[in-house]
Chain A
């Protein structure tokens, strides 16, 4: 009996165990994580999603560099301490994997729109209607911006508007490249939606995207495509052009332009650009930041708002700044730009070409007999009587870099020294001898290494004025009344004589062609009016990350296919060589040997940063290959979309003109 009881007890334990183990015990859902069903249902959640994409997609200062001011470093404007392979045909090679054929941020935007739009349309999202619409508009804008980046690199590009299934077949289908003008039209349509949805006043500090920003971007994109089609017309770089690789694929073989032909398409885009630009330009033409034309050199001097706009902590007071990113030392969101400007801009020097293309204050080119130009034997002379946009930002030895002292900031250089052209490290080097203070600050507390926290400008309204002038001239061949008004406003704010007609008349294209790639399109020198429109852009937007974009859409590098271009800096073999003397009077400058630190005077009076040693691959100058206007697509992208994983020709993707489909090879 006793045993029986025990057995019964044991059995009951097992039964309990059996019940416990039912599926309830094993049903575990995440307790402290959010599943997609519970998110993107409320206004602030939409904002949070957009917040994550701002830094991913939009340009802003990054640490250990000259920030956005250094992005033009491999152009005729600015030169890093080392050259870029895109000017060494053969050395820029097709990659095996990776590259910019990249869709992740596009997916992020598409995911948002696919979740939020149906909920928005059925009224399921809580929050203020205006704000909800605004955040949807931000995502449209961000998708457009991301697309614009890809399209600049590749031209023809797949248009993906929704999250795709993770299955091979539909993805191969989706890999088909749409003709570039269709991509541009798609970007414009996203921007139109953004313009419709975005509110004008979501925040007063303009650290969020606004309707004006979308309009400005629209004018930029349309100007890009309009000018590209114009200058690449009849080449392999435009749909239906001679040798256009899209023709090889069935899906693009019969492509026709929506406007019937390429000229209609060019007009369409230029008109779009003008329309959008005008809306922004008219709104801000009277709100351009004031430029006193003077470099502040003491704490008691009046500040120059135009200079400070590029290096202030809080940019919300500058109406001209349409969108900016705020930094904070305390929050650990910092950059290095102010530190860079204490030295040689993190190895990004300004070229002689850029310096010489600036006008005199009186509106005349430097070579004009009446210009009053004092030559370039030293940097002080270079700055004298020049367009203030040069004299403000070009650093001159002896100037004060710091007006407001602080113990935080051990990387300050209070007095600008002679440029350290022999330093090997990017942090200290003046690659060309010319360095900028654009983006700099007179506050020493900005000078902790990697600890600068001035705001970073993303969009500036003045670009709309420039876009209008160029688009209208490219479209109509004349300076219309609006363009005239805008141009004078820009020059007036800059402090240059507003009579641009006098400049055009004094312009000698054969002189300009020596230094400025923008003097060319299709390898041919352009007319002085168009050139001066481009010059205005170059002067106003110096070091603002738009130069390479402009050079590409102008097709302004063909001339280097046959005629190499030499990047040059200061006139080192003039009187400035006396700056570089040891205590015993011998020169610190070494040339002609393997450990040379400057280029030889036999090559040029001017410092040629890439021509110090003969082993340099650009010892004989920068060259160009047509293919380099677009990026090659890496081989793996062809293989993965090929029907058998091996035969590249079966992939719906086609390579960009001039690029091989073999990894590790350069363009023809």
Chain B
């Protein structure tokens, strides 16, 4: 072929042309233009049928008359005709220039195949609860990892991000609470091409499809590693025939979402003074100090701090004397950050029998930190080769490598989120009058100069497999899988300096050290299984499968730390002195450990169907684990499922045109969970530490040892029983499809905090299998997909899922509310009912008079205007929590539940004449949350654990306070240090953490093929895509409803999520 014309692109031109040249040499033998008409069985022309050259992205759609024209079609190509609700057809061109097609309606989506455990299954024949997501649904999302893109895409797959920092991994869970998490975990098993892997490090664009196995019938084949569901990721592979090459990119700009705003300095000082005065303390800010704060705001003075009156060589303490006006959130977070992603892939057939797929991806994402960079880079490479060695033996090898580089300031730890606002008073000087960062302590100095924390994580996957098929339909697989994960972490904690009044540096934090951590996982897995399928009289279809699986993981960790960085710019372990600031030696600390676990299991499956109408499946798994001693080690886990395809019955004939699919499913299974947090839960361990003691001996930290925790020698499996009932349907030519599942999952003999025992025991009671819970709920999915005659294709997808959990067994003999309660729902929030804030002293007195037996004395004293009036729910004439037990809970009641309920996703998309549009919403319809941290309250009992954010200005004032007017209709009560009496858990301040969020909005345009073919490109798409663009919520404005439970110890102050705007381009050869 020849290059007719050069199309000029603004970037990547050279590389692109080189590829085109190579590929065109190999591929384009002879090309023709094909025309034709597509009609339905009644002879009506079909508009909007997709016509595609198989194995490429080259294609078009039929016009108003059902006519299509495709140029540059190779004479030996095959055309694929697809249309919603019609059977897809493949027609070889064979040199013809005119092809007319009649498409048949598809009564069922018989063709759709779903990946299930150790195999595939036609969707229509599924009896377990399986949902899928396709690569299309995660396309062009400017996210950092796949998990983020999956949020809201699959009903029952719950993904939440409680932290927006770049390395944060969203938590993933299937169908709600699995265990109470007090000794065991219930995360889903994530398998990438059949092998356990990390969903966050995979190249999102390698993904072909994702199956989520939700019930026991679907996941039990994986046994004890998958009691709470499986996420099966299948990656792309090459198709025989033409080679396809794709390059795409996107460029992104991010900004923080729902970042809190701080009060201005003068308001803040007024607020804190009011809280001091209310407490009967002296005001924190003297009138002279207040004046200085005001003068600084008004520009009358320019210094942010004064010299220390007692020691004028130094600046004074910021808390006692600072007069700056800083919003520390603005000081540490950027308003805009940048990222980019590039992806290249090539796939196809090397020969008739051998195919390949390969990809390279680069992601460069910067974070929001302002004073010292945080960023995340990811490089991934994958290669895949499949070959038919003989007619009975196939062979394959996958290779995948990912490298993740993450860097953040060493001071960006939990402590930052713990301390940010309490050590970030607006009055604290960010810079001293000489322009040096000044720490009082406050967050900026450490972030800017305190050193860096870098982690490099590599994942390498090798997967080899052989498939034998000596006799037709008897297929045997042997897979060998190996994964090596290494992580190297380096952090340096640098000496930091404040500066004195003359600008001379002096040490603020004298210690400096370098820390190196090394982490290595070696995971090995063998799967061998054989299956045989056959039919009797074409009506009874049977499939048998049996196999064996074993896994082993070895983990090695070590780390070393030494003090005394010699050259701050060279923070390396061999460039440290081992001395402290004063030259005294400090023993370097080292740590290391070696651990491993293994599992082994035998499994079998039996499938039966009668004319695709009546379906049955039985799974058995016999599983053993290294975590339990021999007598508890092995267990048998069965599952059963049945299905009835009602629409296949003869009596359905007449309904078939409207209701194309109607299937009922039911399943039951028992599974075991061996995922104890401790890998050796039956062994007692002595906590022994070197150079760790804090009572020094001979000037060094001595070795220490502590009493070993008790263990339960009878600890064993947690049993998981799973019921699922479901219905699948397809209506109106399968334009409307959907499914509904209801499930009950009981986790029995769960490892939980043991029964409370008398304190004389003197040690924590060992955790053991003593708790049961029940989780139940539903998953619902409804999809409408259609294409109008004018060529507008559109679809709408609605997902809704719900789960609730009840504790069914728990040893809590006193029924204290501070522990789990049998028969109660998980997540219940016990609190007082708020009558309101007393507007006057007399209103409060009136209220107290109505409580003759002790008033509100149990909660505090000195009640007046601006304080909370609590309701006496049990009419005993006083407000208290009784014995804080279920039987005597005083005036407490259940005021809410923090379980996220009714998780939904709404996915709207449309395409027309090359334009495509998508709007994807995700959210939670109901969730209560009690956020009692100082970020919520502002002023708390302790002045040093208090802050002043903008929403806190709405506090009760019955007299003018400096520039703040009287505020009797306030949201917050009067601020008081020294008491938490107004901050009891109560209805008034319960947060509504439900939300709806526009997770993704994208608009793309595919250049007309007439144009692209001239450049020898089969498809060019440009797009803009936005993430987290809009949020609807009633949560208090200092919190993001998604991260309200995030932050240090759940205080809700987390690294913000990002709003992202991006654009990009995708070119397919």
User: Which residues of A come within 8 Å of B, CB atoms?
Assistant: 3, 6-7, 10, 13-14, 17-18, 20-21, 23, 25-36, 38-40, 44-45, 47-49, 51-52, 54-55, 58, 60, 81-82, 91, 93, 96-97, 101-108, 110-112, 158, 160, 163-164, 166-168, 171-172, 174-175, 203, 205, 207-208, 325-333, 407-408, 410-415, 417, 422-425, 427-428, 445, 448-449, 451, 582, 588, 594-597, 612-613, 615-617, 635-637, 639-641, 645-646, 662-664
Q: Which residues of B contact A333 (CB under 8 A)?
A: 694, 696, 701
Q: Does B276 contact A (CB under 8 A)?
A: yes
Among B500, B600, B861, the most chain A Cβ lie within 10 Å of the Cβ of B600
List residues 997-1037 of chain B with CB under 8 A from any CB of chain A: none
Closest to A106 in B: B762
B624 touches A103 (CB 8 A): no
Residues in chain B near residue A111, CB distance under 8 A: 707-708
Q: Closest CB-CB distance, A549 to chain B, in whole Å?
A: 22
Knowing A422-B282, A615-B862 are in contact, say whether A208-B697 is a contact too (CB < 8 A): yes
Contact of A28 among B598, B706, B818 (CB under 8 A): B598
Whether B697 and A615, one on each chain, are in contact in the complex, defined by CB atoms closer than 8 angstroms, is no
Contacts of B861 in A (CB 8 A): 91, 617
A407 touching B507, Cβ below 8 Å = yes
Given contacts A103-B759, A106-B762, A639-B814, contact A616 B280 (CB under 8 A): yes
**24 sample A-B contacts, Cβ–Cβ < 8 Å, listed by A number:** A3-B471, A21-B600, A44-B703, A48-B703, A107-B707, A163-B762, A168-B755, A172-B758, A174-B760, A175-B759, A330-B579, A332-B511, A333-B701, A410-B508, A411-B317, A412-B311, A414-B311, A422-B286, A425-B284, A425-B319, A617-B861, A640-B813, A663-B883, A664-B881
Least Cβ–Cβ distance between A16 and chain B, in angstroms: 9
Q: Which single residue of chain B is at the shortest CB-CB distance from A160?
A: B760
A97 and B701 CA atoms in complex are apart in Å by: 35
Q: Spot the interface stretch: B231-239, B657-665, B677-685.
A: B677-685
B677 to chain A, nearest CB (A): 15
Does B510 make an interface contact (CB < 8 A)? yes
Given contacts A34-B685, A39-B688, A51-B695, contact A27 B548 (CB under 8 A): no
Interfacial residues of chain B within 589-628, with CB under 8 A of chain A in the complex: 592-600, 602, 624-627
Cβ of B964 within 8 Å of any chain A Cβ, yes or no, is: no
Q: Are B705 and A408 in contact (CB under 8 A)?
A: no
Q: Is the CB of A158 within 8 A of B470?
A: no
Residue of A whose beta carbon sits closest to that of B765: A166
A107 touches B476 (CB 8 A): no
Question: CB within 8 A of A328: which of B506, B584, B761, B943?
Answer: B584
Report the minimum CB–CB distance from B70 to chain A (whole Å): 45
Contact (Cβ within 8 A) B763 A331: no
B853 to chain A, nearest CB (A): 11
Q: What are the residues of chain B within 8 A of A102 when measuring CB–CB?
A: 759
A207 to B599, CA, bound (A): 50
Assess whether B600 is in contact with A329, with CB atoms less than 8 Å apart: no
Please determine whether B594 and A207 come into contact, CB atoms closer than 8 angstroms. no
B697, A328: Cβ atoms under 8 Å?
no
Cα distance A116–B320 in the bound complex, in angstroms: 54
Report how far A51 CA is from B586 CA in the complex, Å: 19
Contact across chains for B282 and A612 when beta carbons are under 8 A apart: yes
A331 CB contact (under 8 Å) in B592, B700, B757? B700
Q: Which of A110, A582, A640 contacts B758 (CB 8 A)?
A: A640
Residues of A within 8 A of B281 (CB): 81-82, 424
Q: Are A52 and B693 in contact (CB under 8 A)?
A: yes
Task: Give me 12 other A-B pairs in contact (C-beta within 8 A), A326-B699, A424-B283 excluded.
Answer: A27-B626, A29-B683, A48-B693, A51-B702, A110-B762, A205-B698, A332-B511, A333-B694, A427-B320, A640-B759, A645-B815, A664-B881
Q: Check B875 for interface membership: any CB of A closer than 8 A.
A: no
CA distance A341 to B280 in the complex (A): 26
Q: B277: CB under 8 A from chain A?
A: yes
- The count of residues in chain B whose C-beta lies closer than 8 Å to any C-beta of chain A is 113
In contact, A329 and B582 (Cβ under 8 angstroms): yes
Contacts of A329 in B (CB 8 A): 510, 580-582
Provide the bound-state CA to CA distance between A103 and B624, in Å. 39
Mask of B282-326 contacts with A, CB within 8 angstroms, 1/0? 111010100000000000000000000111001001011000000
List of B residues within 8 angstroms of A27 by Cβ: 626, 630
Quick one: which of B310, B684, B816 contacts A36, CB cutoff 8 A? Answer: B684
B310 touches A415 (CB 8 A): yes
Among A6, A13, A171, A328, which residue has its beta carbon within 8 angstroms of that of B699?
Answer: A328
A326 with B688: CB separation less than 8 A: no
Q: How far is the CB of B277 from the nearest CB of chain A, in Å?
A: 5
What is the CA–CA distance of A424 and B526 in the complex, to the nearest angstrom? Answer: 68
B282 near A39 with CB under 8 A, answer: no
Q: Is the CB of B283 within 8 A of A595?
A: yes
Q: Verify if B392 is at the interface (C-beta below 8 Å from A).
A: yes
Q: Complex Cα distance A60/B309, Å?
A: 32
Q: Are B686 and A35 in contact (CB under 8 A)?
A: yes
Q: Which residue of B lies closest to A421 (CB)?
A: B282
B residues 802-816 in Cβ contact with A at 8 Å: 813-816
Q: Which chain B residues border A160 with CB–CB below 8 Å?
A: 760, 762
- Nearest CB in chain B: distance from A114 CB, A: 11
Q: Top 3 A-B pairs ranked by shortest CB distance?
A: A330-B580, A107-B762, A103-B762
Q: Are B468 and A10 in contact (CB under 8 A)?
A: yes
CA distance A448 to B552 in the complex (A): 51
What's the Cα separation between A174 and B758 when bound, in Å?
A: 9
Residues of A contacting B599 in the complex (Cβ-Cβ under 8 angstroms): 26
Closest chain B residue, CB of each to CB of A33: B685
In the complex, chain A residues whose CB is within 8 Å of the CB of B507: 407-408, 448
Q: Does B341 contact A (CB under 8 A)?
A: no
**Is residue B858 within 8 Å, beta carbon to beta carbon, of the partner chain?**
yes
> What is the CA–CA distance of A443 and B30 in the complex, to the nearest angstrom?
91
CB distance from A446 to the nearest CB of B (A): 12
Q: Name B595's contact: one of A31, A34, A331, A449 (CB within 8 Å).
A: A31
Q: How far is the CA of A103 from the CA of B471 in the complex (A)?
A: 71
In the complex, residue of chain A having the shortest beta-carbon distance to the beta carbon of B272: A424
Look across to chain B and name the residue whose beta carbon is closest to the beta carbon of A407.
Answer: B506
Asked if B470 and A636 make an inter-chain contact with CB atoms under 8 angstroms apart, the answer reads: no
Cβ-neighbour of A423 out of B320, B684, B694, B765 (below 8 A)? B320
State whether A28 touches B680 (Cβ < 8 A).
yes
Residues A32 and B760 in contact, CB atoms below 8 Å apart: no
A444 to B877, CA, bound (A): 58
Measured between beta carbons, the chain A residues less than 8 angstroms from B696 are 207, 325-328, 331, 333
Task: List the B side residues contacting A205 at CB < 8 Å.
Answer: 698
Which B residues are in CB contact (< 8 Å) with A451?
A: 510
Residues of B within 8 A of A327 (CB): 696
Taken together as a complex, chains A and B put the C-alpha atoms of A451 and B602 apart, in Å, by 61
The answer on a CB contact under 8 Å between B762 and A51 is no
Q: How far is the CA of A81 from the CA of B679 in the complex (A)?
A: 50
Residues of B within 8 A of A49 (CB): 704-706
Could you tell me if A166 and B581 are in contact, using CB atoms closer than 8 angstroms?
Answer: no
Give the docked Cα–Cα distance between A597 and B286 (Å): 10
Q: B314's closest neighbor in chain A, by CB?
A: A410
Within 8 Å CB of A13, what residues of B? 478, 528
Q: Which of A203, A330, A635, A663 contacts B584 (CB 8 A)?
A: A330
**A327's closest neighbor in chain B, by CB?**
B696
- B766 sits at the interface (CB 8 A): yes
Which chain B residues border A163 with CB–CB below 8 Å? 762-763
Identify B530's interface contact among A10, A108, A662, CB under 8 A: A10
B563 in the interface, Cβ–Cβ < 8 Å?
A: yes
Contact of B548 with A17 in the complex, beta carbons under 8 Å: yes
B758 contacts A641, C-beta separation under 8 Å: yes
Of B282, B320, B552, which is in contact with the most chain A CB atoms at under 10 Å from its CB? B282
- Looking at the assembled complex, report how far the CB atom of B585 sits from the nearest CB atom of chain A, in whole angstroms: 8
Q: Which residues of A contact B584 (CB under 8 A)?
A: 328, 330
* Complex Cα–Cα for A423 and B309 (A): 14
Q: Is B965 an interface residue (CB 8 A)?
A: no
Residues of B within 8 A of A166 (CB): 710, 754, 757, 761, 765-766
Which of B510, B585, B595 touches A408 (beta carbons < 8 Å)? B510
Residues of B within 8 A of A112 (CB): 707
Contact (Cβ within 8 A) B761 A6: no
> B762 contacts A104, CB within 8 Å?
yes
